[in-house]
Amino acid sequence: MTISASERLRKFYGVFKNDDQVLVAINADPDAIGAALAVKRLLWRRVASVSICSVNTVKRPDNVAMVELLGVNLLKAVDVSKTNYSRFVIVDSQKDHHELFKKYEFDVIIDHHPPGKHKAAFTDIRPEYGATSSMMTEYIKAAKIRPSMKLATALFLGIKTDTNDFQRRAFGEDVKAFQFLFKHINLNLVQKIEYAEINPGFLKYFQIAFNTRVMRRGRVYVHLGHVGTPDVCVLVADFFMKVKGVGWSFVSGIFGKKLVVIFRNDGMRTNAGKVAEKSFGKLGSAGGHKSMARAEVPLCALQGQVDFDHDKKMLRWLIERIEQKKS
| SS3 (DSSP) at 50 | strand
**Domains of the chain, CATH where assigned:** 5-194 (3.90.1640.10), 201-326 (3.10.310.40)
Are the C-beta atoms of residues 12 and 108 closer than 8 Å to each other? yes
- 53-105 pLDDT, tens per residue? 999 888 888 899 999 999 999 999 989 999 999 999 999 998 887 888 888 99
Q: How many helices (H) and strands (E) does the chain have?
A: 11, 12
**Over 60: is that where the pLDDT of 37 sits?**
yes
**Over 60: is that where the pLDDT of 327 sits?**
no
pLDDT score, position 270: 76
CA-to-CA distance for 269 and 248, rounded, in angstroms?
A: 9
Over pLDDT 90: what percentage of the chain?
60
- 244-280 pLDDT, tens per residue? 989 999 999 999 899 999 999 887 767 888 899 899 9
Please state the rounded mean pLDDT for residues 298-311. Answer: 86
**Over 90: is that where the pLDDT of 168 sits?**
no
Quick one: which of 302, 290, 317, 322 has its CA closest to 257? Answer: 302
| Angle CA 159–87–130, to nearest 5 | 15
- 11-23 pLDDT, tens per residue? 999 999 999 999 9
Region of 320 on the Ramachandran plot (φ > 0 left; ψ -120 to 50 alpha; else beta)? alpha
CA-to-CA distance for 241 and 239, rounded, in angstroms?
A: 5
Give the strand pairing for 74-76 and 248-255. unpaired
Range in 71-80, 109-118, 163-172 the model is least confident about: 163-172
Are the C-beta atoms of residues 1 and 31 closer than 8 Å to each other? no
Quick one: which of 265, 212, 204, 257 has its CA closest to 232? Answer: 204
Q: Where are the beta strands (DSSP E) in the chain?
A: 21-26, 49-54, 74-76, 87-91, 108-111, 122-125, 214-216, 219-226, 248-255, 258-265, 285-288, 292-298
